[in-house]
């Protein structure tokens, strides 16, 4: 976050979103979009686009490195046609709970989940022009290419 703040990243992200322009966060790019993170006992403010805490996975083996399926919500445009595919993850930290409450007038973000070692975590979020994945679509073969294509086509 220090590096992102040094180049006014949160401001740039906020301005793009305010103008309805798309933003795609991947891996740490997703993590910085949340309210805050805790790493090695140090708490850091994130961009606060979504409520939630990025924290260390509670799994027997960390980092989570390898291929994994995801639980895609109904209505996902990002995962259309690749709902049952596997995606490549490499991370030790993630958001493990989702507590966003909507006012009933605004569409709720679509949250995709995954599990590693019995620990469930947010794998992707689709929220209007703001989209993010905890996994690496660019390393996820044909499924990742299809997902990125869907994101670009939705621009």
Going by C-beta distance under 8 Å and a sequence separation of 6 or more, which residues neighbour residue 87?
67, 68, 69, 70, 123, 133, 135, 136, 137, 140, 143, 144, 147
Average pLDDT over residues 8-32: 96
Dump pLDDT digits (tens) for 21-75: 999 999 999 999 999 999 999 999 999 999 999 999 999 999 999 999 999 999 9
The catalytically annotated residue of 35, 105, 138, 153 is: 138
Q: Which of 31, 40, 51, 49 is nearest to 134 (CA)?
A: 31
Residue 51's φ and ψ, nearest 5 degrees, are: -75, 150
pLDDT at 18 over 90: yes
3-class secondary-structure state, position 47: coil
| Whether 153 is catalytic | no
Domains and CATH numbers, the chain: 2-153 (3.40.50.880)
Options 27, 47, 49, 126, the catalytic residue: 27
Q: What is the mean pLDDT of residues 70-95?
A: 97
47 is catalytic: no
Say whether pLDDT at 129 is over 90.
yes
Given the residues 35, 83, 115, 136, the one annotated as active site: 136
45 assigned to active site = no
Is pLDDT at 149 greater than 90 in this prediction? yes
Q: How far apart are CA 43 and CA 60, in angstroms?
A: 23
């Amino acid at each position: 976050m220090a590096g992102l703040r040094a180049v006014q990243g949160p401001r740039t992200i906020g301005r793009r979103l305010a103008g309805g322009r798309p933003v795609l966060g991947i891996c740490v790019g997703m993590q910085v979009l949340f309210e805050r993170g805790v790493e090695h006992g140090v708490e850091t403010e994130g961009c606060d686009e979504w409520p939630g805490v990025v924290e260390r996975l509670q799994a027997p083996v960390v980092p989570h490195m390898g291929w994994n399926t995801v639980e895609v919500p109904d209505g996902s445009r990002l995962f259309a046609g690749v709902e049952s595919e596997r995606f490549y993850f490499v991370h030790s930290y993630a958001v493990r709970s989702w507590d966003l409450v909507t006012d009933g007038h605004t569409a709720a973000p679509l949250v995709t989940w995954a599990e590693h070692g019995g620990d469930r975590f947010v794998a992707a979020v689709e929220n209007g022009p703001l989209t993010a994945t905890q996994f690496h679509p660019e390393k996820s073969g044909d499924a990742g290419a299809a997902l990125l294509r869907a994101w670009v086509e939705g621009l």
